[in-house]
């Protein structure tokens, strides 16, 4: 759009100047020249505004992932009634995520790391697994996963986009569906000066995950 507009405007200005120079008509009245000058200035300003508008439309805004951290207890239940319990320390900073998991005796279970290049899991015994993103790695290595790209927004008691069947308990976001998950936010309490859900339950056809949040920090 910018290229075509630029060419059309240059051609129009050239033709106008050429016609004025070679028309063979008497010299225009000074007042007419002043009006033409004002019109030319106005058209030039409009042209610049259109160029700026096209440039703005062609730009894709970059949305940075917020920094946030969480300490929580996690309980996972699979279809065969196997249960996994862990304490997790979650930190997302500069679009990179690190998760450390411990058992109830504070012994390390695994560490997860994810950035734009991919994700890697290192178990306590030294074995490693990798995948193209954190969600895929968790599902492959642990047998369960979370919609990690939306998790921080749900922990704020807000919708992240793409949810359906949304319900509120008074003014608190309560339940909704997201892809294959049924999500429940409950037991709102204050973390610092902000009232947030302390329990997040995600029910998937193959497993369920309960997060019991102990602390949460968010930097928009």
Contact between residue 121 and residue 130 where contact means Cβ atoms under 8 Å apart: yes
CA atoms within 13 A on the CB side of 20: 12
Torsion sign across C-alpha atoms 30, 35, 36, 38: positive
d(CA 121, CA 97): 12
- Residues 6 or more apart in contact with residue 198 via CB below 8 angstroms: 186, 187, 188, 189, 212, 213
d(CA 61, CA 70): 28
Q: What is the pLDDT of residues 26-80, one digit of tens each?
A: 555 555 555 555 555 554 554 444 444 444 444 434 445 688 999 999 999 988 8
d(CA 211, CA 147): 13
| Residue 141: per-residue pLDDT | 86
Please name the residue that has the structure tokens 């500069």: 94
| Residue 2: per-residue pLDDT | 45
| Residue 82: per-residue pLDDT | 87
pTM for this model (two decimals): 0.68
CA atoms within 13 A on the CB side of 137: 24
| Residue 36: per-residue pLDDT | 53
List the chain residues with pLDDT less than 70. 1-65, 220
| Residue 208: per-residue pLDDT | 95
Q: What are phi and psi of 22, to 5 degrees?
A: -115, 15
């Amino acid at each position: 759009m910018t290229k075509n507009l630029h060419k059309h405007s240059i051609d129009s200005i050239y033709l106008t100047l050429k016609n004025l120079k070679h028309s063979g008509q008497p010299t225009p009245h000074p007042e007419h020249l002043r009006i033409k000058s004002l019109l030319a200035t106005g058209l030039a300003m409009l042209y610049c505004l259109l160029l700026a508008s096209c440039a703005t439309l062609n730009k894709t805004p970059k949305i940075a992932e917020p920094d946030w951290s969480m300490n929580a207890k996690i309980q996972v239940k699979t279809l065969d009634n196997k249960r996994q319990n862990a304490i997790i320390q979650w930190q997302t900073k500069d679009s990179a995520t690190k998760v450390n998991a411990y058992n109830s005796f504070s012994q390390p279970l695994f560490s997860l790391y994810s950035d734009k290049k991919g994700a890697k899991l290192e178990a306590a015994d030294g074995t490693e697994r990798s995948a193209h993103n954190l969600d895929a790695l968790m599902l492959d290595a642990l047998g369960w996963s979370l919609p990690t790209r939306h998790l921080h927004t749900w922990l704020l008691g807000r919708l992240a986009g793409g949810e359906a069947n949304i319900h509120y308990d008074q003014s608190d976001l309560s339940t909704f569906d997201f892809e294959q998950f049924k999500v429940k936010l409950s037991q709102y309490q204050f973390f610092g000066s902000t009232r947030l859900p302390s329990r997040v339950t995600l029910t998937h056809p193959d497993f369920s995950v309960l997060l019991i949040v102990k602390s949460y920090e968010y930097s928009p």
